[in-house]
Structure 1
Amino acid sequence: MRIVHVADEFIAGRGSQTTHHRFVVTIFGLYAREPGLSVPIGGLIDLLQELDVDSSSARSSVSRLKKKGVLEQTGKGRYALSTEAYNHLSRRNDRIYTPRHAENEGDWLMVVYTVPEDSRQARHLLRTGLQKMGFGSVNPGVWIAPAHLSEEATDYFETHDLTQYIQTFTSTYNGPGESKAELGSWWDLEEIELRYVHFERTYIGLLGNWRDRVSSLSQPELDAEAFKAFIPMFTQWRTLPFLDPGLPKSVLPRTWAGYSAQKLFNDLNTLLSEGARAHALRALAQKE
């Protein structure tokens, strides 16, 4: 099923993806996501070379994404997002920019599934999809998340023809004990926080450095610098909100790294995105 590969490229990324492969997905998602827009391969290669990606690696990534149904060839040397990829981005994009947190500890979405032994692909899709949407595992066939993920989960199940295997419940935790004490067994919160910390440590210095560049570069140079800084930053960030379930703030530490990492992303997005977009569109237009 081609749409399986499309979701696999976008929902929290894939651990096996190379950096240049992720860059290609990011560039198409940012600058060619409207219906009818296509990208000349020459312009894409020029942009990727600014990110230290050689042309053969760029072409290889485009070829793989085409085989997986993420990209479609629309003409000689031109590629666009497939309908499936466009639809996926349209449904998921808000989570990158405005991740939600549950308002209270009361409402949880519980997913229970039973899959026959001969339906291994369905079992794989359920497990990986639930993980990449931010669900926690209570037991092998019982998964839980804040109730605000209900619409996203339902869409995933329907898109991948998985509804025959699942039952969903909106539930309330009644103990014994406090739900906060169980979170560590349902989610690897330490690993999620470490990813936020890594993001901050990698990009916190960019804020000060970028302000220094603003006064010393012309606008085209500034836009090019913005692009080279923005694409790696955005590529690393875009997976994190999908791994984070958006637990109620009342059950998270006050110093939860996700809060400061989100602010850092917002600040960098404000500083860099406009210039990066201007540079990318100019580069792509030159190859029309």
Structure 2
Amino acid sequence: MSLSIAAFLGVSGRPGTVPVSDITRNAACPAAPSMVPCFWPLVDAQPQGALGDEETEPATSIPAGTTMTLRWKHMSHAWTKNHSTEDVQLHLPIDGRVAYRIGLREHIASKGAAMLIAPGWAFTCQSPPGSLLILCIEGNSLLAELEARQPHAKHAWALRSKVLPAQCLESESFLPSLVDLIEAREPDARREREAGLMGRLAELLIKAPAIARVSALETQRLAALEEWIDAHLSESITIGRMCEVVGVSERRLQQTFETLRGMSPKRWLTERRLAFAHRLLWQRDHNGDVTRVAIEAGFAHLGRFSAQGGFNRSMQHIG
């Protein structure tokens, strides 16, 4: 008997109408090493990295509506990935636990649970061999759904990255709703189920909670500071200089970064430098000159870069 998508995702009590084997054989799904099931091809699926375009085994990426995309990533070996995302991502491990590090905090997502990744949050993902389902949501659409539920609130919502336990997903019937969306074939049905899933996700985030209230000015200041930091990574950047750039106190700066990025501004700067060094090493135009890369990324010397895990974490992607 063919295994259905519902059973594959661990959703009990329903037969499921789309078997995994049928989707795997569908010609619109691109063949890839260690082929794993992709989802019903609403349009021609395009290979795309689930956590970034640098992955050696591309994910299958399929639109699931107007504001959502499903990505399926198979890892044939254990791997580590440094990344941040511009959209909202919900990571659902299929085969085992996946560890996420945000700043100095570790978060573990096991099968049945999910890891919410908020836009702009830098994270490191460590995964054993296996499969990972990623639901990508257009951030403004999700925030609009949250705002509509409390239209007269003084401040706007901001999303926070965190693990959503299995019981939280179960309480909102989230996975059955996701299966409904995956199995929808008609455009009208997909739109209706997408809206339903968006509503369940908003309710889930409010109850978790995985949201915080922030002023528009805080968001604007943070965006301006991040842009300034990216343009001055090779320079010496102190907390005092950051405060001066955006005109806030050190305490306010700390609070803003903890709320909107899940870590201190100092740690965020380090993560930004490590990500920049990773990109330089990946481009292979430095001929393995790790010292030069470390200096360009703002690390005073190689020892400091190595102490932050930069050498080991970057070399995993170019070896």
- Same fold by TM-score greater than 0.5: no
Which structure shows the bigger proportion of residues in helix conformation?
Answer: 1
Which structure shows the bigger proportion of residues in strand conformation?
Answer: 2
TM-score, normalization by structure 2: 0.22
